[in-house]
Every structure is written in structure tokens, then in C-alpha cells.
Amino acid sequence: MNLGRAKSILIIAFTGLNIFLGYHLFWPDFGRLTNVAVTAEDIQEAETILNENNYFLETPLDRSVQVGDFLTVAPAVGFQGDILQLFIKKGARIVEAENATAYKVDNKTAYVYPGGLIRITFEPALEFSDDGNELAEEQLKDKLESFISEELIMPEGLVYDRMEVTDSEMLVLNYHRSLEGTPIFASNLKAYLGSGVLDLIEISWLDPVERVPPREMEVISATDALTNLVDFLGPSDEPLGIKGIELGYFSAEYEAEKWEIPPVWRIQLGENIYHYVNAFTGNIEDDTFMPEQLP
Amino acid sequence: MIETIKSILLLILVGLSLLLTYQLWYGQVPAQVLEQDIYERIVVEQPRELERVVEPKKIALHNEEELYVYKKSTPDFGEMWGLLSIALQQISLDALIDEDDLPLDSRHLLSYYMQPKLPVGEDQPWLNEVLYSEIEKVDLYTVNDSFRLVLSGSNNKFSLLLPPRKAEQFATLLDNIQADKKLASAFLTEELLADHGFSQLSIVEPLYVPVETVFMSEYNIRPETLDQDLILKTFFVDYSMARVIEEKEGGLIYTDGERGLRLTDTGLEYSSPRLEEGQTTSAYSEALVTSSSLISYHGGWPDSLRLKSLELSGWGDTTHYSAEWQAYLDGYPILISQSIRALFNDNGLIHYARSFFEVENPIIPENGLTSAASWNEALEKALSKYQEGFPDRASSIILKDIYLGYAITTSQSGYTGKPVWVITINNEQFILSAFELEPLREEDLL
């Protein structure tokens, strides 16, 4: 046998061996090599489950493989202090308030709570209309943002989220903090408007302390998050559209020094219902229970 | 030229095969697979077998005219219970006797108050040849030269004749009980209460009070030290999913969104409320074993701790077992607002709280140990406090409990085990310092 033939046999043998090794290495995660976490079959399966339970997917899904990490946050004490300084500079006086420190100047009162929440009330309420005509969402948003930057302090990383209508017919403009493009849903600002007037601004602002890189992991897919939510909620009484699904950070509010918050899939059902699915565990994060009976 | 290409191709293929083999052997597992395979082997305390889960709340020794009470962590308590437990495990059905009434010349030797109840009968370690029942009290009598056990449950009562060898072991034990460790007590009756001027009080439970002077001392104590990392692993299968919340008061909360574990300087508390909506199908004795597993797994079962109660409770279709443990020091219960307890059902552990203190050393005053106030002085004080607080509840006053114990108090220097009288009148509990009979301030108690 000449050397050339031996080489050919070896080439065939090693090609076979490499195919075998490659199959064992990559086949179970072949989808991941192409950076796709959700296949067309996954979406079809998820849709079947959703439809059987009276939920209907009305938004495109992010099909790429995504990683997430825990984010350590703390109440934005600095921002809270800046707001108070602003009020004090304007000649605010301290007024009595339950569980909060309150500073009043002109028609504005700022209530500062130990957990970091700031509530700014307006009495009388602030005119927020165009000569008596109601403003459209975009106009309300622009007017509110100019008011915050001129009269208050614009929180860092403020991003507009959505407008919703409460049961008592109030309009609520929702903002949240964004960190390098990722929303921190737990850090938010809400403005409550009555008929053409601004009644209240609630700011629950959090400072990102650090990301926890050693704990960076691949998050569950959007389809898994949806099926977990449906499993948790059970069938819907009436057809309900899934209007949005977005990756961000969220946790319940704690009166704590600092805490870690997980990546979540925020799922919008209908117009105003939002649920948060932990993007690592798949658990529903809407109302986290904390043990607190120990001294 | 072809040969050169073949050689290069072969080299590449050989290199690639080496690389793939290395990757297959040592390579990084994709993140999602890692999540599923992260179960970590941990070493925890071995759970106790059922034989060691149940212990009596108290044992009364009747000796001629005198009466002595033994509780967990007093000398001879373990031997007394151990002997009975083994006897009940070894006695056969032949020992059952039909006579319900004891002869007049019988002498009462021991009373074992079983709390939680002792499961006997089929599939149980004790008396596995009789029909299943739950025993609340076991009395030992001597009748002529024989020893007889009378076992009482809520609906049944039966007697057993001890085999001669077992009877002999009991006789030897009773002879060898350490005389100097005995503390004379009295069985509290309404007549005895009336003799001491408490005729307005009635009794529903068997109560014993010391009739000799009791010398006690305060103790320096400290919270047990738990391996927090291990504790975390016992509650979260994959604790990399748990996130941390640092409380302002210094506590740490770990949660994965479904369950929460709070660690403080004085203990831990775990909750998984979504498991509450569940059924409980396990039998009482299985639940006893489960309770043992839970405490052993989550921190361990210290020797001075006794299972105090195991109850099935709930509402509608939602039921759970509730287990609670009691710590003892020198035979006296240690009072703490958040004792060790576990709530569980078929879904798993719903709630677990653990606050356990270890004894460092007694604080003995220069002039020696101090004597505790007598039971009647303590009761008088508690009764006056009760009447001050509830002047309109003069009738139907029930003395539900009275005992000496240790209350854990906090001060700047640390934690102290303080001797106290604990008296429950109707449903009001009074905790009085055992020496001065001063009510302990709520804020000082842990």
C-alpha cells in the first residue's frame, strides 16, 4: 500500500471521527450555535398552549439566545437628597406626615419615605391642558418632561414606558430607568393626571450598584416565559391578547439597604395588565413573599 | 501537489479531532444545561428514626408520699423514657391483660405524659401487634410482685403486664435514680389550690409544681452558629438562582421569587407560600418522621430540643402539619417568641423558623445561687395581674399552666437566659422573673 492511499484512508477515518465528535458536542444545542433559542416549532407549540387557554400572541417574539445577570440596586438616596435640597432652596417648610418626611413649598409638597419613595403632590392641582383642551399622549409626555426638568430634577436614565387609565379614570404616565438600553422596571416614575390637571408624581428611583458578572447565565426563552405565565394564571375567561414581551429587570420593592434583582420577561396582557416572569427560574415575580416574623 | 494537500488536510483533521475530543471531555457545558445539572451533593445531619422523635413532655415519679417530676435534659429523664420505649418495642401481644381495674394494693410508680402522642400498633416501632392508636399517657404500676403498664389514649385504654426481665430493669432504674437530683413536686389539684387561697381557680390539665426551694441561676447564652452556605443549599436546590436583599437592620434575605429565606443574628425563617394550597395525606407517624427530616436537614436537631407538638390544621381543602420544638435547660423549658417550627404538607415545606440558643456559662452571684419564689407566691402575683387587667372576668378562671423556665432577654452585653415563672390563666400568659416576681418587659424578651 502506498503512502497516498494510506493518507486517503486516514482522511476518511478522521472525517468520520470528527463528524461523530461534532454530533455529540453540538447536536443537542445546535440551535444555540446559530444563536437561535426559539425555533419555529417552539413558537407553534407555545401558541397552541396559549390558544387552548384563550390567550393569543399579538406580538413578535425575540428568538435569539440571550444572557442575563443579577443587578444589585439600592434606593437612589442621592436623587432623593437632591429633590429635598431643591425644595429647601425654594423655601420649603417641614409639615407633618405619616411615615414620611414632608416638605411644602407653594402648591407642591414632597413626601419622602424611608424606602426611597418620593411622592410630590400638587394642591391645587397643576393645570396640564391646552387652554382647557385635553392633550394627546405625546403632548402630555412632552409637557411632563419639561415640567420635571424645569421645576424638579430629571432622574438619570429616565425612559418613557406607557400611558394607562386607572379604574378611577385617571391617566397615569409611566416611566422607568434604563441601564445601557435594558429597562429596570422596578425603578420607576409615575405621573397621575386628573381631567387636565397634574395631581401627583410618584418616584421610586433605584440606583444600579453593580451587575453580578460571575452569575451571568442564559435566560429562559420568551416562549417558556409565556407558557409558565399561562400555567400560573390558568385559562382566561375571555380572549386575551399578548401585546408585548420584553426583557428587563424587576423585583418587588423592599425597605432594604440594597438588593439584587433578576432579569425578567415583562409580559403585557390586554391593554393594562403586566406580569413579570423571572428569566432565570421562570417563577412569577408579581408578589414576592418575604419572611419577616423573626426579630 | 495532491499529496501535499492530502497531508495538510490530514493534519487539519487530526488537529480537529484532538480539539473536539478535548472539548467533549473538558469543554464548557452550555448555560442552560448547567442550570439543570447544578444539583450539589451536601452533607447534613442524619434524620432521627421514629423511635427517637417522640419523647414525653414530663415524667412523674411517685415514691411513697413524694412526687418528683422529670423533664427533658434532667438527669435520668433519658433513661426512664429509653427503658419504656424499648419495653414497648419488645413486648408482644401476650402481655396484654383484660383487667381494666387495678387491684387496691397496686402502687403507682411512674406517669409518662406523651406530647406529642405516641403512635402504637401496626407498622409502628411500639406495640406493633396491637391495633393502631395514639397514646397520651403511660402509667407504670406495681401489683404484688409484677409491673403493669396502663396506656391511655383519647378513646382507649389498655394494660400490659411487663415481662419479668423488663420489670427487673424498671426496678433497678427506680433504685438507681440520683437522689440528689430529685426535686419534690406536688400534683396540683383544686383542693390544693383552695388550701393556698386560690379557690376561684379551676384546672383542666395535669399540672405539677415544685414544693421544695428551687435554686436557679441566670445563664449567658448565644445564638447557635449555623453554616449559612449549607443552610442556603438546603433551601434552594440551585441557589445560584437566589438573589440577596440586605436589610437595613443587618439581616439577609435570599429569594428566588417563589420562596424566601431570611437570616438574622438570632435565627432563620423560610417561607414558600405557594405550597400552602395543598393537601396532607401522610399519616401521623409519617409526619413525625418528616418533621425529623426537616429539622435535621435544615440546621440539625440539637440534643436539648424536644418535639413539643405535631398537629394537623388547615381550612377547606388546604391542610398542613405544624411541628414545633422546645428547647430545655436543666429540665426547664426555654421561652422564645419564635421557637423552632415547621409547617409542611404533601407539596413540601411551607414555612420553617429556627431560633436556637446555646448555653455558654451560668452567672452565679457572689453570694451563691438564688432561690426562686414559691409557686403560690408566683401564682398570687399572676392572678393579681390578671384581675387588674381583666376585672370583668372574675368568674370561670382556669389555671392552664404553671412552670419554671428560662426566658431569653436581650441587653447591651448580649443574651441572657433569665429564670422565670410562666403562668397561663385562661389564655393570658404571665412571665414573671423567678426571683423578684417582676413581670418581664415585652421589649426585653426575644
- The CATH number of the domain holding residue A133 is 3.30.310.160
Q: Does the beta carbon of B186 lie under 8 angstroms from any beta carbon of chain A? A: no
In CATH terms, the superfamily for domain B225-355 is YycH protein, domain 2 (3.30.310.160)
Q: Are residues A56 and A109 in the same domain?
A: no
Q: Is the pLDDT at A27 greater than 90, yes or no? A: no
Number of domains in chain A: 2
Grid cell digits, residue B288:
413525625
> Which of B9, B243, B272 to mutate: most A Cβ within 10 Å?
B243
pLDDT in tens, B209-218: 999 899 999 9
Let me know: does B68 contact B185? Beta carbons within 8 Å. yes
pLDDT in tens, A120-152: 999 888 888 877 777 888 999 999 999 999 988
At residue B44, the pLDDT reads 86
Distance from CA of A251 to the nearest CA of B (A): 8
Burial readout B390-409 (b: 16 or more C-beta within 10 A, e: otherwise): eeeeeeebebeebbbbbbbb
Let me know: does B137 contact B152? Beta carbons within 8 Å. yes
Grid cell digits, residue B417:
437566659
A289 belongs to a structural domain: no
At residue A290, the pLDDT reads 54
Residues in a beta bridge with B342: B323, B352
Q: Does the beta carbon of B8 lie under 8 angstroms from any beta carbon of chain A? A: no
Q: What mean pLDDT value characterizes chain A?
A: 87
Let me know: does A52 contact A70? Beta carbons within 8 Å. no
Q: Does A231 or A254 have the greater pLDDT score?
A: A231
Cβ partners under 8 Å of residue A136, min gap 6: none
Q: Does the beta carbon of A195 lie under 8 angstroms from any beta carbon of chain B? A: no
Q: Does the beta carbon of B337 lie under 8 angstroms from any beta carbon of chain A? A: yes
Q: Is the pLDDT at B27 greater than 70, yes or no? A: no
Q: Is the pLDDT at B146 greater than 50, yes or no? A: yes
The end-to-end CA distance of chain A, in Å, is 85
Q: A17: which chain B residues are within 8 Å (Cβ-Cβ)?
A: 13, 17
Q: What is the mean predicted confidence (pLDDT) over B27-51?
A: 66
Let me know: does A279 contact A261? Beta carbons within 8 Å. no
A283 belongs to a structural domain: no
| ipTM > 0.90 (yes/no) | no
State the angle between helix axes of A40-52 and A222-233 in degrees (0 to 180), rounded to the nearest 10: 10
What's B50-182's CATH class?
alpha beta
A21 belongs to a structural domain: no
Q: Are residues A155 and A89 in the same domain?
A: yes
Backbone angles phi, psi at B371, to 5 degrees: -90, 140
Q: Are residues A218 and A274 in the same domain?
A: yes
Please answer yes or no on whether B24 and A21 come within 8 Å at the CB atom. Answer: yes
Let me know: does B402 contact B214? Beta carbons within 8 Å. no
- Residue found under cell 401522610: B282
- The Cα–Cα gap between A222 and A232 comes to 15
A149 belongs to a structural domain: yes
A112 belongs to a structural domain: yes
The CB density around residue B59, as the number of other CB atoms within 10 Å, is 23
At residue B30, the pLDDT reads 46
Cα torsion B186, B188, B194, B196: sign: positive
B179: DSSP letter: G
- The Cα–Cα gap between B427 and B208 comes to 19
Q: Are residues A86 and A176 in the same domain?
A: yes
CA closest to A212 among chain B residues: B243
pLDDT in tens, B98-135: 766 777 788 999 999 999 999 999 999 999 999 999 99
Please answer yes or no on whether A288 and B13 come within 8 Å at the CB atom. Answer: no
At residue A130, the pLDDT reads 78
Domain that holds residue A267: 33-70+212-278
At residue B281, the pLDDT reads 92
- The Cα–Cα gap between A247 and A66 comes to 9
Please answer yes or no on whether A295 and B257 come within 8 Å at the CB atom. Answer: no
- The Cα–Cα gap between B341 and B137 comes to 24
C-alpha to C-alpha distances, A223 to A35, A248, B174, nearest whole angstrom: 16, 16, 71
> Which of A70, A215, A290 to mutate: most B Cβ within 10 Å?
A290
Q: A261: which chain B residues are within 8 Å (Cβ-Cβ)?
A: 243
A25 belongs to a structural domain: no
Q: Does the beta carbon of A290 lie under 8 angstroms from any beta carbon of chain B? A: yes
CA nearest to B382, candidates B365, B401, B367, B410: B401
Q: What mean pLDDT value characterizes chain B?
A: 88
Residues in a beta bridge with B98: none
Q: Does the beta carbon of A295 lie under 8 angstroms from any beta carbon of chain B? A: yes
Q: Are residues A225 and A203 in the same domain?
A: no
A193 belongs to a structural domain: yes
Please answer yes or no on whether B10 and A11 come within 8 Å at the CB atom. Answer: yes
Let me know: does A14 contact B10? Beta carbons within 8 Å. yes
CA gyration radius, chain B: 29
Q: Does the beta carbon of B248 lie under 8 angstroms from any beta carbon of chain A? A: yes
Q: Domains of chain B: which residue ranges?
A: 50-182, 225-355, 363-444
Let me know: does B343 contact B324? Beta carbons within 8 Å. no
Q: Does the beta carbon of A115 lie under 8 angstroms from any beta carbon of chain B? A: no
- Residue found under cell 438588593: A259
Please answer yes or no on whether A70 and B247 come within 8 Å at the CB atom. Answer: no
Grid cell digits, residue B70:
422529670
CA closest to B1 among chain A residues: A4
The CB density around residue A292, as the number of other CB atoms within 10 Å, is 12
Q: Does the beta carbon of B28 lie under 8 angstroms from any beta carbon of chain A? A: no
Q: Is B123 helix (H, G, I), strand (E, B) or coil?
A: coil
Backbone angles phi, psi at A43, to 5 degrees: -65, -40
Strands B332-335 and B397-411 turn out to be parallel
Q: Is the pLDDT at B57 greater than 70, yes or no? A: yes
Task: Give the CATH number, domain containing residue A61.
Answer: 2.40.128
Q: Are residues A49 and A159 in the same domain?
A: no
Please answer yes or no on whether A281 and B258 come within 8 Å at the CB atom. Answer: yes
A274 belongs to a structural domain: yes
- The Cα–Cα gap between B313 and B310 comes to 10
CA gyration radius, chain A: 26
At residue B33, the pLDDT reads 40
pLDDT in tens, A250-295: 988 777 888 999 999 999 999 889 999 999 988 888 665 555 544 3
CA closest to A115 among chain B residues: B248
Q: Are residues A111 and A38 in the same domain?
A: no
